[in-house]
Structure 1
Amino acid sequence: MHPYLNTAIKAARAAGSIIARSANRLDMVSVQQKDANDFVTQVDQAAEEEIIRILRRAYPDHGFLAEESGASDSESEFTWVIDPLDGTTNFIHGIPQYAVSIALKQGKRLEQAVIYDPIKEELFTASRGGGAMLNNRRIRVSDRKDLNGVLLGTGIPFRAHHDLDFFIEALRALLPGTAGVRRAGAASLDLAYVACGRLDGFWESDLNQWDIAAGALIVQEAGGLVGDLSGGERFLESGNIVAASPKVFKGMLQRLHPLINKTA
């Protein structure tokens, strides 16, 4: 296992322990509102501090881009992209669907990824060129040949500046012939589920890098494809993402293409 990945796993498990201990005493958790329908708890903050402490101790010259503390000033070519608790809204409502997400970028290229579900104790990992794993067992995306019968994941826009009309059009385009669409509330886990075949594909708009960086690499290393809504490579910059097994990815893009052209 790559030393960077090993350290990221250590950090994710430490953060997961903080989250899991708090999950059974939610009445004691302080919740603040960062923006409309956007929440943060002291658990998010404590988990992020622990992740950064562990990573910084091992790699003091690396940079950080974290959900709660933002970007650190660093001239390093390495940047850790961190979501200490993806699915905070689920967490504060007692819905056990949330995860720790940590990725390492070298320049603009994703190199290492960890997604840890502390409730189910599922650890998804990937190193560039080394494949993707779930609890140390290799995983692959599904082998679906088209969109017939597939199960898709997504996120429903919930902030004022998000384009709900586009989402509804995309849903209308993608839903026919599928087995359904799930909205579970944690993009990192949605992507991890694509990687291990629980979902056949996933799309969402207006996400942040820390929501999708780790999941994107895990999907790619599991044999899947990841792109923006038109299939390009700028999903980290745009926050718009499609991820799926190869033939499902192609089918999703074909259905989304007329919508992209309409809004371009």
Structure 2
Amino acid sequence: MQGSANLNIMIKAARAAGRSLVKDFREVEALTVTAKGAGDFVSRADIRAEEIVRDTLMEARPNYGWVGEESKPVEGKDPTRRWIVDPLDGTTNFLHGLPHWAVSIALEHKGEIVSAVVFDPAKSELFWAEKGAGAWMNETRIRVSQRGKLIESIFATGLPFGGRADLPATLQDLARILPTCAGVRRYGAAALDLAYVAAGRYDGFWERRLNSWDMAAGLLLVKEAGGLVEPINPEGDCIADGEVVCANEPVFDRFAALVRNT
């Protein structure tokens, strides 16, 4: 696996956090869980994983900034670089014993994601990418699918939970998209949804109201795997606005038009 020094540090951090999470996953019923909001939970495992990632990254690059789900942002001495981290994407899956969750780490340089790691310890799948160097899963180069017909395509999204106000809009999305395709999946981990688009398992993905750490690494994976990535609002910004539509090139325009209702 050939990558930059920064990428190697990111992989080291993701694997270390993954080892800790796997131990807790085996004892998931014994975890101390506190409610962070309706349908959204945080556990000791989540917080510990972030500590492991943060300690590893900040020890190696103490001048970089930091944005993580479970801690306060840090403005680095180097204002051009920051880590964007979700230590456990798919927390609800994790707490229900579902083996579909990941550690997501991205490096942003001057407002652009340049390195990405999404690690799924339960399946031993490490997705990684660097700007201009392609996207990979473990030792294998990955590419988006080449399906050109919507009716043969599978898409992924998130569904609102716990009384979120965007349920009506999401139901309208589904009413437009479901009749045109081979299926829509809701697996509960946006970082893995994006990684699966990059690997050609899904043909596209869309979601609103995401956080930067949910998608920062995944966006680069899709781009480097040959996919098209845009904000749902064409005038917007994916990370700033928390929304994205992405797909392989053959279906992107038609899929994006359905998502945007244009």
Band the TM-score falls in, shorter-chain normalisation: over 0.9
Q: What does residue range 1-264 of structure 1 map to in structure 2 within 5 Å? A: 1-76=3-78, 77-232=80-235, 234-258=237-261
Q: Where does structure 1 lack aligned partners over 5 or more consecutive residues?
A: 260-264
Rate the CA distance shift 1:187–1:193 in 2: closer, same or farther, 3 A: same
Residue range with higher mean Cα deviation, 223-232 or 95-104: 223-232
Secondary structure of 1:102's partner?
Answer: strand
Alpha-carbon separation, structure 2, partners of 1:65 and 1:230: 24
Rate the CA distance shift 1:131–1:64 in 2: closer, same or farther, 3 A: same
Alpha-carbon separation, structure 1, partners of 2:261 and 2:97: 39
Calculate the TM-score normalised by the size of structure 1: 0.95
RMSD, matched Cα: 1.2
In percent, how many aligned pairs have the same letter? 45
Deviation at 1:161, TM superposition (A): 4.0
Point out 4+ residue stretches in structure 1 off by more than 6 angstroms. none
Alpha-carbon separation, structure 2, partners of 1:231 and 1:116: 30
Calculate the TM-score normalised by the size of structure 2: 0.96
Per-residue CA deviations over 1:186-232 (Å, capped at 9, x if unaligned) read: 00000000000000001111000000000000000000011111345
Alpha-carbon separation, structure 2, partners of 1:229 and 1:146: 21
Alpha-carbon separation, structure 1, partners of 2:216 and 2:32: 28
Alpha-carbon separation, structure 1, partners of 2:250 and 2:177: 14
Residue range with higher mean Cα deviation, 119-128 or 32-41: 32-41
Secondary structure of 1:176's partner?
Answer: helix
- Amino acid of the residue matched to residue 27 of structure 2? R
Q: Where does structure 2 lack aligned partners over 5 or more consecutive residues?
A: none
Deviation at 1:173, TM superposition (A): 1.1
Per-residue CA deviations over 1:137-190 (Å, capped at 9, x if unaligned) read: 100000011312100111001143441111011111111231111000000000
- Amino acid of the residue matched to residue 158 of structure 1? F
Secondary structure of 1:175's partner?
Answer: helix
Secondary structure of 2:222's partner?
Answer: helix
